[in-house]
Every structure is written in C-alpha cells, then in structure tokens.
Amino acid sequence: MPKHTIANIYNDFQSKYEDNPQFVIDFFSKYTIAFNNIKIFDDKDDLQDYIELSMFLSNVLFQKNRYNDTIDTLNRVLPIIDSEMIRLSAYELKDKYYTIFFLKGQASYRLKDYETATSIFKELTIYDPKDENYKNWLKNSLIRKKDRLLLVIYIVCSSAVLLEILLRLFDITTSRFRSVLLILSIIGFISAFTYNYFIEKSLRKSK
C-alpha cells in the first residue's frame, strides 16, 4: 500500500484546512508527487475525494489568474476522473466532474482560446440545457470566436482590395489576375457577412 493514499491526503487537507488560497497552494506543493501519482481508486469515496481536492486546487489556480496552470492541472486530472467514473460506475459524480470541466472552459476563455472554450461550453449546455450560466458563457465565447474570425477575414479581404488597386494603378500583372483578386475579396466579405448573420441569429435564439 502506498505511503500516501487519496484518503489520507484528503483527511490531512480537511483537518488542516484554512480558507485562503495560499494554504491550498502550499498544501498541494507538499503533496505534488503523491497526488500526481494517484491514477486509480479503490472505491467511489476515494474518487469523490480526488475530485474535491482537484476542485480546490484548480479553483485556487484560476482565482490567482494562473490560467495555464489551471488547464495543465485539469488536463491531468480530468481523464483520470473520467476513466475511473466509468470503471467504478460512479456516474452520480458527473455533476462534480462537469464543475471542474467548466473551469477548464473558463480558463481557456481567459487565455483567448475561444475554440476550446466554445467546445467545452457546448458540451456543458448539452449536459444541462437549463443552466443559464453555461448558456451565457457559450454565447460570449461564440461572440469572441466570431469577432476574431471576422477580423481576420476583413483584414485579408481589405488587403486584397488595396493590392488590386495598387496593381491596377501601376498596371502590374494582367487584368484577369486583378479581377480574380477582386472577386475573391468580394466573396470573402459576403461570406463574413453571412457568417455573422447566422451567428447573430443563433445567439438570439439562445436567449
């Protein structure tokens, strides 16, 4: 039996707990190797203890704006929790699993990784369609993702139009090439407008 089980780590945490972030950081610094080496559990109670400890750690990291550390921690613990819930048939712990999964979405959003954040919030809204918090985060993430994509499209298309004008002024390249460049720019603007329209329509429906 290992020196440190999840049960004795959890009991030590509970017996010494102080309601401040530094306590949590210091505690997990002490148990880093032991906690990171635990990957299977004897029963559902052990798994629940592991989830709760993971929640404390990831919450504190998020509160301290250590978003990369938050995601690194969750990328390590979430697959373990997921596989052990299946092995132990501990599906009643799904709510707690999604609580820290939600935190990964929030941390991804703060790091402007809207692709990952949107994917996470979509999964959460499928899991609990009535949760307004999930829906609001998804809506905001879609807006940010859309704005970034549209900005890139508008910059590229505007640059292409400017290039076409310069090529025409100095009579560089063939008129056919310039026409293709202009047509592609127009298609890009129309595509961006259409995409924006359907996203806005989708967001209005989500309200």
| Model confidence band, residue 204 (pLDDT cutoffs 50, 70, 90) | low
Cβ neighbours, 10 Å, residue 170: 8
Tokens found for residue 202: 């989708």
Pull the structure tokens for residue 76.
Answer: 């390590």
In whole angstroms, give the CA distance from residue 78 to residue 31. Answer: 18
**pLDDT tens for residues 155-187?**
887 887 887 787 777 777 777 777 877 788 888
- Domain locations along the chain: 6-111, 142-206
Q: What is the mean pLDDT of the chain?
A: 87
Over the stretch 34-72, which tens digit does the pLDDT of each residue have? 999 999 999 999 999 999 999 999 999 999 999 999 999
Query: Which pLDDT score, from 0 to 100, does residue 166 have?
Result: 79
Given a cut of 90, is residue 105 above it in pLDDT?
yes
* pLDDT over 70 at 3, yes or no: no
Q: Residue 202 above 70 pLDDT?
A: no
Element (H, E) at 186: helix 175-206
Q: Mind listing the pLDDT tens digit for each residue in 121-135?
A: 999 999 999 999 999
Contact between 192 and 154 under an 8 Å Cβ cutoff? The reply is: yes
Residue 42 burial by CB count (10 A; 0-12/13-18/19+): exposed, middle or buried? Answer: exposed
Q: Which one has a higher pLDDT value, 199 or 71?
A: 71
Q: What is the pLDDT of residues 86-96, one digit of tens each?
A: 999 999 999 99
Query: Mean pLDDT across the stretch 15-33?
Result: 93
pLDDT at residue 2 above 50? no
Q: Is the pLDDT of residue 1 over 60?
A: no
Model confidence at 205: pLDDT above 80:
no
